[in-house]
Amino acid sequence: GESVGLHLPTLSVQEGDNSIINCAYSNSASDYFIWYKQESGKGPQFIIDIRSNMDKRQGQRVTVLLNKTVKHLSLQIAATQPGDSAVYFCAENIRVRGNTGKLIFGQGTTLQVKP
């Protein structure tokens, strides 16, 4: 079925450490993946995306890794800061027809950064 899942509902890390948030997806037809960050009272904020023809993409302090063999996606945050505390969602785009698709979100992982 269509589902995107996260391995852990809550991740607690020490400030300055690296964080790794994992996500498993089920649809082999997914062609595009996105990570979002959502802070309390706000809408999801785009962090980084990756197409299915790539296996790694880097941004500022963040890296997304895609392993299509095991249908696994991860978000790595370097030198985690208190401002990184939020709920993180992965999402996969399942192409429906032509250039359209449906974005399926995971349940989210809460990242807590300890000072």
Partner 1 sequence: KAGVTQTPRYLIKTRGQQVTLSCSPISGHRSVSWYQQTPGQGLQFLFEYFSETQRNKGNFPGRFSGRQFSNSRSEMNVSTLELGDSALYLCASSIGRTNEKLFFGSGTQLSVL
Q: Which is nearer to partner 1, 16 or 59 (CB)?
A: 59
Q: Does 115 bind partner 1 (CB under 8 A)?
A: no
48 closest CA partner among 29, 61, 31: 61
Q: Does 44 bind partner 1 (CB under 8 A)?
A: yes
DSSP 12-56: EEETTS-EEEEEEE--TTEEEEEEEEE-TTS--EEEEEEETT-SE
Q: Does 104 bind partner 1 (CB under 8 A)?
A: yes
Question: Where do contacts with partner 1 occur on this chain (CB under 8 A)?
Answer: 32, 34, 36, 41-46, 49, 89, 91, 93, 96, 99-108
